[in-house]
Chains A and B, each alone.
Chain A
Amino acid sequence: MSWTTWRARRTFRGSLEQLAHLREFVNETAPQFGCNEEDTFAVELACDEAAANVFSHAFGTMPGEIQVELWRHDNTVTVQMKYHGGAFDPLQVPMPDLDVPLEERPIGGLGLYFMRQLMTEVKFEFDTVNGNVLTMHRLLIPESRG
Chain B
Amino acid sequence: MELKTETRGNTLVLTISGSLDALTAPELSDALSTQLRDGNTNLVADLSQLEYTSSAGLRVMLNGVKEARQKGGDLRLAAIQPNVKKVLDLSGFMSIMKAFPDVDGAVASFA
Contacts and interface: CB of A to CB of B under 8 A. Distances in A.
Q: How large is the interface on B (under 10, 10 to 19, 20 to 34, 35 or more residues)?
A: 20 to 34
B22 A45 contact: no
B59 A107 contact: yes
B65 interface: yes
A50 B21 CA distance: 12
A23 B21 CA distance: 11
B83 A49 contact: no
B36 interface: no
A1 interface: no
A17 interface: yes
A19 B86 contact: no
Interface stretch (A2-10, A58-66, A110-118, A125-133): A110-118
B8 interface: no
Interface in A24-45: 41, 45
Contacts of A108: 59
A76 B20 CA distance: 28
Interface of A: 16-17, 19-20, 23, 41, 45, 48-49, 52, 55-56, 98, 102-103, 105, 107-108, 110-111, 113-114, 117-118
Interface of B: 19, 21-23, 52, 54-56, 58-59, 62-63, 65-66, 83, 86-87, 90-92, 96
